[in-house]
Structure 1
Amino acid sequence: MKFGVYRDDCEGLHPDTINKYYGVHGKETRRTQGQTGAGHPTDEEAESDDDSTSEPGSAVRGNDLAQRVADDLESDIRHDAIPVPDHRNPFNGNADLEGEYFDKLQEIIVRGDMPTGFGILEDEWVDGMYPTVEVIPAGRKGSKEIRVSLAAQEWKARAGLWCQALAVLSHFR
């Protein structure tokens, strides 16, 4: 295309994906001043018009990129179902024990008691202020971070109830 808008083949792709399929494979060749690397070595085979080349390090042409990505990801998405986590009732069907738990929880909620060690008390907060953001490590080896907004008006009451419920539950184990 000489004029007009060029379509970006990499639009919406993660930089790691672009680097994997369009990046440099192998060790970078250092050239002396004046060498561009634009020439072809004598032992290099002539380029064919076949778009089916998919060897690592080969030029990516046409729909070959989409096929290579699909082939690479197939093992990641065509797996056996994973087992569902066990969500058993911690009271093992004991209605009396469960009733006792909810009675104790209601008692603590009415009194307004907050447990220590859960980060819900004012003296446990950094700078004495309720945290507005929680950073959750994600990715391989926790190398990335997900920032979650913890607006006090939305989360403080929920977090308090969760801490109360967990503290009471820990006494029933």
Structure 2
Amino acid sequence: MWGASTGNTRAERTWPEVGSQFARAWRAFFFRLERVHGLQRNNPNHLWLLHTLFLPSINEDCDSFVRSWNSHPISGKGHNKTPNDMRLLGQLEHGIYPDINGGVHPEVLQYYRVEEMEDKEEAERVVIANIREEQYSQYYHEPVAVPKHSSPFEENGKEVKMFSRLLQELESSDFIPSNYRLTPGEWETGIYPIFETIPFGKKGNRRLEVPLPPHIWLKRAIQWVRCLVIMDSIMDSRQ
């Protein structure tokens, strides 16, 4: 897609759906982990644990949304066809182009006059550099720095094995650590909160209540706290 996404109505319309169908719930869950379940957002070990525990589930939710979105009919220019239908019809009408060195379209190579270059990898680098230069005016900010999330455990594997063994013991005994707001006695109403309030809007000065069904999110919170307690105990044993 060329140009700013803000000029593409359909692309912009997708973001509210991404939020309402899965992203907003994960955001609210991470707010809850920080508010009551011991998450420290500036602690690299905690970031590693978040990635390790929940990134596969987030990716599954994302894939599920993509499958659902690509199967829903689009009005207007889509003539009530789904994205999957339009992709198939486009392939039938125009054919399927082979990928070249990571997926650079033959017509793109021709457009940038590099289709005759013998070094195809260099041709791809030239194409990418040209696209980046042409699209630079559409960037509104520098790329966001991605937090480091390398494993806090020793490379020899001893601590990893200890972590796995202790986690298996806690799970088999159904033990839930105290002082992390995970047991009925620690809940204000005796019921695990069904909603979490998060900042909302461009300025973040509005509030939105997001449902977090306990049969899904309480289990994940317990998993987080168990792993957090074990990780912290292993880190403390080094001292």
Instruction: Summarize deviations over 1:47-66 as a string: whole Å, max 9, x none.
Output: xxxxxxxxxxxxxxxxxxxx
Counterparts of 1:24-173 in structure 2 under 5 Å? Answer: 77-138=139-200, 143-173=205-235
Q: Alpha carbons of 1:154 and 1:141: their partners in 2 closer, same or farther (altered >3 Å)?
A: same
- Offset, 1:98: 0.8
Whole-angstrom CA distance in 1 between matches of 2:230 and 2:178: 12
The residue identity in structure 1 corresponding to 2:223 is L
State, as a whole percentage, how many aligned pairs show the same letter. 30
* CA RMSD of superposed structures (Å): 2.6
Change (3 A) 1:99 1:163: same
Q: CA deviation at 1:138?
A: 5.0
Q: 1:131 to 1:81 in 2, by over 3 A?
A: same
Moved over 3 A (4+): 137-142
Following superposition, the deviation at residue 143 of structure 1 comes to: 2.5
Instruction: Name whichever of 137-146 and 107-116 sits farther off.
Output: 137-146
For residue 168 of structure 1, give the secondary structure of its aligned residue in structure 2: helix
> Which whole-Å CA distance do the structure 2 matches of 1:146 and 1:169 have between them?
33
| More helix by percentage | 2
Structure 1 length-normalised TM: 0.50
Distance 1:147 1:94, change over 3 A: farther
Structure 2: give runs of 5+ residues left out of the alignment.
Answer: 1-12, 14-136
CA distance in 2, matches of 1:170, 1:112: 19
Instruction: Please list the CA deviations of residues 7-36 of structure 1 after superposition, one character each: whole Å capped at 9, or x if unmatched.
Output: xxxxx9xxxxxxxxxxxxxxxxxxxxxxxx
SS in 2 for 1:106: helix
Q: Deviations over 1:152-173 (max 9, x none)?
A: 2222222211111111111122
C-alpha distance in structure 2 between counterparts of 1:138 and 1:171, whole Å? 36
Give structure 1 stretches of 5+ with no counterpart.
Answer: 1-11, 13-74
In structure 2, relative to structure 1, the CA distance for the partners of 1:137 and 1:172 (3 Å cut) is farther
Determine helix, strand or coil for the equivalent of 1:120: coil
Distance 1:137 1:95 in 2: 40
Alignment partners' CA distance in 2, 1:98 and 1:141: 42
Pick closer, same or farther for the CA change 1:86–1:150 going to 2, 3 Å. same
Deviation of 1:133 (Å): 0.6
